[in-house]
A = this chain, B = another copy of it.
Amino acid sequence: MKSKTEYLFFETPERRALVNITGRLEKLVAGSQVQEGLCLVSAMHITAGIWVNDEEEGLKQDVMDWLERLAPVADYRHHRTGEDNGDAHLKRTLMHHQALLPVTKGKLDLGPWEQVFYAEFDGRRRKRVVVKIIGE
């Protein structure tokens, strides 16, 4: 069994952002020399997630607006600690914080429109994503 672990770092200038990381993941998979296996992509900070969906500008705005409706900026109990990012914890929960990508014949085995996004909900600081590839 082969394994490779890498960390991607992000520091988005905006508080909220969707960053397409598909190309970076493809390179990591190629470098791992895994032909058949699994690639875990998981946001290590609890106000960010991973989203697998379409690279389409309108939809990306739609999903951000929708998250704001379901998990709005508001006065959360969490803010008694001095934080102001309660909504970001809930948005991460809705989007889910990780995805597991199949690796087949040495490549990410994604559908024709599947793109992988780092979903930032409390940016403007350095944050990390773990990528772990295992297989043969």
Contacts and interface: CB of A to CB of B under 8 A. Distances in A.
Interface residues of A, number: 58
A64 to B, nearest CB: 10
Contact of A59 (B42, B52, B89, B134): B89
Given A53-B92, A58-B81, A111 B44 contact: yes
A130 to B, nearest CB: 5
Contacts of A104: 5, 130, 132
Interface stretch (A12-20, A23-31, A70-78): A70-78
B135 A3 contact: yes
A8 interface: no
A135 B1 contact: yes
